[in-house]
Amino acid sequence: MASVAGLAATPTWARDSVEWGETQFSWTHPKVTVERALSFRHRHTDETLNTVYYANGRYLPQALDEVNWLLRDFRTSEIKPIDPQLLDLLYAVRQRLESNESFDVFSGYRSPETNALLRREGWGVARNSLHMQGMAIDIGLPGMETRHIANCALSLQRGGVGIYRRYNFVHLDTGRVRTWRG
């Protein structure tokens, strides 16, 4: 469900102020399902993927390969396996936000060379970014404010959450729990 101006249009999970100063979440667990599916649109390559990556109690290798390809370093085409826990985090966020939209991907895996280039160009990326380990992603959801995505992810306490309003994306990772604004 997309969030628009006005409390009446705000999803039921969004309430009073917390970490980002705008919304608060009540979170238990995602709906128990036999299958977990995700869909993506890469902002730089315009590639799309809609895949079931988990079914019958296991991750599906072919689907993980497809995700790894879509989330590759688009500058070098280098591929690194994406942490399945990151996919589970994305799944939980999308379920909790009651969204059927594809994630807009700004950055998935980044090679050390690309990370160093972005640092030299002043993009403010971390020297030891979890993007280089396949443990981080920068995303948006069409029609959803970045603050709602960030608050939802933060409520899950599954890793780092950075909000980049200027660029309209949220950084999610499966490292230690922490928050920041970029």
Amino acid, res. 151: N
Phi-psi domain of 127 (left: phi exceeds 0; alpha: psi -120 through 50; beta: other):
alpha
Per-residue pLDDT of the chain (182 residues; tens, 9 = 90+): 333 333 333 333 333 333 444 444 444 455 555 899 999 999 999 999 999 999 999 999 999 999 999 999 999 999 999 999 999 999 999 999 999 999 999 999 999 999 999 999 988 889 999 999 999 999 999 999 999 999 999 999 999 999 999 999 999 999 999 999 98
Instruction: From the options 3.40.1190.20, 3.10.520.10, 3.30.1380.10, 2.40.50.140, give the CATH code of 18-23+34-181.
Output: 3.30.1380.10
Q: CA 7: distance to chain centroid? A: 25
pLDDT of residue 10: 37
- Which sequence spans correspond to the domains of the chain? 18-23+34-181
Phi, psi of 145 (to 5 degrees): -70, 145
pLDDT of residue 123: 87
* Beta bridge partners of residue 179, listed in sequence order: 161
Q: Do 118 and 110 meet the contact criterion of CB atoms below 8 Å apart?
A: yes
pLDDT of residue 33: 59
Within the chain, residue ranges assigned H as helices are 61-70, 84-96, 112-120, 146-156
pTM, to two decimals: 0.82
pLDDT of residue 15: 35
